[in-house]
Amino acid sequence: MGIHGGSDELYWSDNVDGQYTSKGGYNFMRMLLSYDAPSSSTSAPLRPAFWKKFWATQALPRCKETSWRAISGYLPLKERLFRPRVDVDPGCSFCATHWETEDHFFLQCPATRQIWFASPGAIRADSFSCFRDFWAVVALQGDGDFLALVQATVYAIWEARNQVNFQQRPLMVHSVLSRVESLLAEVSVRDNGGEATVAAPARWKRPAQGTIKCNFDASFKEGDVSRLGMIARDHEGAIMATACSFQFHTISSLLAEPMSMRWTMQLAIDLGFRRICVETDCVYLFRSWHATGEGRSYLSSILRDCRLLLSGFDHFTVSFVRRTGNVVADFLAKNVKTYANQVWVEEVPAPVLPLVISDIT
Ligand SMILES: [Zn+2]
CA dihedral 320, 326, 329, 331 (to 10 degrees): 150
CA 246 to ligand 1 center in whole angstroms: 33
CA 95 to ligand 1 center in whole angstroms: 4
Q: Measuring CA to CA, which residue among 186, 155, 171, 182 is closest to residue 222?
A: 171
pLDDT at residue 340, rounded to an integer: 67
Do 115 and 217 lie in a common domain? no
Do 216 and 183 lie in a common domain? no
Q: Which domain holds residue 228?
A: 212-360
Do 52 and 168 lie in a common domain? yes
pLDDT at residue 76, rounded to an integer: 86
Do 26 and 127 lie in a common domain? yes
Do 166 and 223 lie in a common domain? no
Which residues does residue 190 pair with via DSSP β-bridges, in sequence order? Answer: 197
Of 171, 187, 203, which marks where a domain is finished?
187
The answer as to whether 199 is a domain residue is no
Burial of 222 (0-12, 13-18, 19+ CB in 10 A): exposed
C-alpha to C-alpha distance for 47 and 224, rounded to whole angstroms: 40
**Greatest Cα-to-Cα distance within the chain, rounded to the nearest angstrom:** 70
Helix (H, G, I), strand (E, B) or coil at 342: strand
Do 164 and 226 lie in a common domain? no
CA 153 to ligand 1 center in whole angstroms: 16
The answer as to whether 252 is a domain residue is yes
* Contact between residue 39 and residue 182 where contact means Cβ atoms under 8 Å apart: no
CA 112 to ligand 1 center in whole angstroms: 7
Do 235 and 111 lie in a common domain? no
CA 77 to ligand 1 center in whole angstroms: 12
Tell me the CATH number at 340.
3.30.420.10
The answer as to whether 276 is a domain residue is yes
Do 67 and 180 lie in a common domain? yes
CA 122 to ligand 1 center in whole angstroms: 19
pLDDT at residue 4, rounded to an integer: 44
The answer as to whether 292 is a domain residue is yes
CA 110 to ligand 1 center in whole angstroms: 6
Tens of pLDDT, residue by residue over 168-206, are: 899 998 889 888 887 887 764 443 334 333 467 789 999
CA 158 to ligand 1 center in whole angstroms: 12
Do 221 and 179 lie in a common domain? no
CA 99 to ligand 1 center in whole angstroms: 7
* Contact between residue 243 and residue 276 where contact means Cβ atoms under 8 Å apart: no
CA 100 to ligand 1 center in whole angstroms: 7
The answer as to whether 226 is a domain residue is yes
Do 10 and 142 lie in a common domain? yes
The answer as to whether 293 is a domain residue is yes
The answer as to whether 244 is a domain residue is yes
Do 182 and 216 lie in a common domain? no
Question: pTM here?
Answer: 0.57
The answer as to whether 197 is a domain residue is no
CA dihedral 36, 39, 44, 46 (to 10 degrees): 120
* Contact between residue 279 and residue 330 where contact means Cβ atoms under 8 Å apart: no
Give me the average pLDDT of each 10-residue run along the chain (361 residues): 39 32 37 34 71 90 92 86 75 92 95 90 86 90 86 96 92 89 67 44 89 93 80 94 85 81 95 94 84 68 91 93 92 77 88 90 85
**Taking each helix axis from N to C terminus, what angle separates 144-166 and 48-55, rounded to the nearest 10 degrees?**
80
pLDDT at residue 231, rounded to an integer: 97
Query: How many domains are there within the chain?
Result: 2
Do 242 and 160 lie in a common domain? no
